[in-house]
């Protein structure tokens, strides 16, 4: 399994873009990058995932470098409600039927959005 | 209405009691999961089920059992609760296409005294 490295904490001003980096230099060719977040004591929330192309949905954008060794989750206009721990997870994803390896939620990045 | 619901949301019970936590989902997903989270720690997988007849142990299944009563329902039981099972418990679901795109319930806070 590819290991991920994220900063322990980050700050962002409300209304500004929050850019959360993740390093996954040992990622394999069939592994996807998933992002989740957990607001204090709530259930984790799926945000987005991608393989190699940049992805965007209503919550965020995911930028994956061309060599796939790192990625950045972008919250374009952070709000106070985006304060949470953000997890970057690498897993063999969509379409793979070779069994299930559990999601591993590491320490993540604690994002604090301030007024 | 929430897609994944858990009952109860909070429960205090005594050592040795049997307790059941229930999870229901309206997402139409085949796959369901139970996790526990302890303060300051990550989520640990207790059990998972890929369909009604397929139930698998996770990394910390000792002291727990599960029942998949229907596609939409997955229950977690503590046969004889002990204090170190005090934790936040989450249920999650995923579709067949991608087991790692999971949708979590709001959690059950369980305290065993």
State pLDDT tens for residues A10-63. Answer: 999 999 999 999 999 999 888 899 999 999 889 999 999 999 989 999 999 999
Q: Largest Cα–Cα distance in chain B?
A: 41
pLDDT in tens, A51-108: 998 999 999 999 999 999 999 999 999 999 999 999 999 987 655 555 677 788 888 9
| Token pair recorded at residue B44 | 């640990």
CA distances from A46 to A12, A25, A83, A105, B77 (A): 21, 22, 15, 12, 26
The model's pLDDT over B9-44, given as tens digits with 9 standing for 90+, comes to 999 999 999 999 999 999 999 999 999 999 877 889
Q: Is residue B63 pLDDT above 80, yes or no?
A: yes
End-to-end CA distance of chain A: 38
Can you list the alpha helix ranges (DSSP code H) found in A1-115? none
Q: Give the nearest chain B residue to A105 (CA atoms).
A: B42
CB contact burial B70-91 (16+ within 10 A = b; e otherwise): ebbebbbebeebeeebbbbbbb
B→A contacts (Cβ < 8 Å), by residue, are: 4, 42-43, 45, 48, 50, 56, 58-59, 88, 90, 92, 97-107, 109
Ramachandran bin of B52, using left for φ above 0, alpha for ψ from -120 to 50, beta for the remaining angles: alpha
């Amino acid at each position: 399994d590819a290991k991920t490295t994220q900063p322990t904490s980050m700050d962002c001003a409300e209304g500004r873009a929050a850019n959360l980096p993740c390093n996954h230099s040992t990622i394999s060719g069939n592994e996807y990058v998933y992002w989740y977040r957990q607001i204090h004591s709530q259930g984790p929330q799926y945000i987005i995932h991608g393989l190699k192309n940049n992805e965007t949905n209503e919550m965020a954008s995911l930028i994956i470098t061309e060599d796939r060794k790192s990625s950045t989750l972008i919250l374009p206009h952070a709000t106070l409600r985006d304060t949470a721990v953000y997890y970057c997870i690498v897993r063999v994803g969509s379409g793979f039927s070779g069994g299930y390896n559990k999601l591993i939620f590491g320490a993540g990045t604690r994002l604090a959005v301030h007024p | 209405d929430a897609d994944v619901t858990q009952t109860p949301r909070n429960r205090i019970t005594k050592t040795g009691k049997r307790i059941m936590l229930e999870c229901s989902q309206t997402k139409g997903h085949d796959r369901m999961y139970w996790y526990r989270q302890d303060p300051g720690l990550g989520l640990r997988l207790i059990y998972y089920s890929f369909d009604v007849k397929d139930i698998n142990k996770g990394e910390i299944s000792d002291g727990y059992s599960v029942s998949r009563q229907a596609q939409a329902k997955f229950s977690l039981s503590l046969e004889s609760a002990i204090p170190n099972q005090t934790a936040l418990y989450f249920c999650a679901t995923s579709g067949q296409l991608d087991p790692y795109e999971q949708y979590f319930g709001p959690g059950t806070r369980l305290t065993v005294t």
